[in-house]
Amino acid sequence: MHVFYLHQSFPMLQLYFFTLNSNMEFPIVKLEHLSHRYSIQWAIKDIDFEITKPGIYGLLGSNGAGKSTTMNIMCGVLKQTEGDVYIQGYSMSKDPVEAKRRIGFLPQTPPLHPDLTVTEYLTYCAGLRYVPKDKVAKAVDEVLERCHLEHFRHRLIHNLSGGYQQRVGIAQAIIHNPDLVVFDEPTNGLDPNQILDVRHLIKDIAEERTVILSTHILSEVQAICDYIHMIEQGRLVFAGTVEEFDNYIVPDSLFVSLMAMPSVEDLRRVPGVLGVEELGGPNYRIKFSDYQEVTNRLVEVSVARNWYLTEMYLEKSSMNAVFAELSKKK
């Protein structure tokens, strides 16, 4: 950032000129004290977060948690009660046109015109997104290729399968080459093969831009997301990487395989062991309070008593368990 000072003959008057080298000086997305109320009920309350790195961000939450409200405000579909959203420094409430130029949005129900061909529809969308007229044809060709729709360009949208209609919805979201793309439940209603295709396409799109993915399907998050933001009861309860989400609940059990199959009573006598559960055959679940102590002691006792320890690892909580735990937060 360059700052120039121009002093005039009046000592109290100073004019400041700021030249910003690029929008990258701003967060990609910033939510500031965002709140929204329907009648007397607050849907979301005082949500603050910003996204500064590229990647795929999962927006998680139970049904009715406030995900859709947050996403609709973020994309300029709904006007918030309090706070603001900034897209690369542009306020969604004060400068909505510039903010929306930088966003592509695919709502849960794609905004398709079924009686148009794929090319006609995407050309129409390009006009809505202020793509210059002399660049519309190229923009349409590029998204047709990116979304693997070249062979369907002249087909009526209502004659496409659900999976290919979803591809058309994704194509309209990136027709103007936005820096941020927001998808709301993009795999709803698709069969397993179509889900895999759409996930692959989203990963491909995220190589060049930031993606926010709203979903309640944890396997979806695990499959494609780099980061997670979770909203529950209208408030942000978690923001971090997928790995940090996985480790939110501190593990307190070990899976252990002992070929000699010692008795539960013998295992309970090992220092550091709080509880033992038989899992069948040589396998056990060991509860502990101090990971380092219990692993050291189990190795020592196993060698001394010829228990033949063949496997031992820390059991992490499932994403479902973490989700359930965070859902209790207020």
| CA 267/CA 276 separation, integer angstroms | 7
DSSP conformation class of 71? H
Average pLDDT taken over every residue of the chain: 88
Q: Tell me the domains of the chain and their CATH numbers.
A: 24-246 (3.40.50.300), 253-314 (3.30.70)
Q: What is the pLDDT of residue 64?
A: 83
- Can you tell me the mean pLDDT for 300-323? 91
CA distances for 131 relative to 122, 125, 150, 154, 311, angstroms: 11, 9, 20, 21, 59
Q: Strands of 309-314's sheet, edge to edge?
A: 273-280, 283-288, 253-258, 309-314
For 129-191, where are the alpha helices, taking DSSP H only? 136-146, 162-174
DSSP annotation of 156 reads B
**Is residue 319 classed as helix, strand or coil in its secondary structure?**
helix
pLDDT 10s digits, 46-64: 999 999 989 999 999 888 8
pTM summary value: 0.77
Render pLDDT for 221-271 as a digit per residue (tens, 0 to 9). 988 999 999 999 999 999 999 989 988 888 889 999 999 999 999 999 999
Q: What percent of the chain has pLDDT over 90?
A: 70
pLDDT exceeds cutoff 80 at 19: no
| Residues 125-154, mean pLDDT to the nearest whole number | 95
Residue 20 is encoded by which pair of tokens?
A: 């910003």
How does residue 15 score in pLDDT terms, banded at 50, 70 and 90?
Answer: very low
* Res. 284: pLDDT tops 80: yes
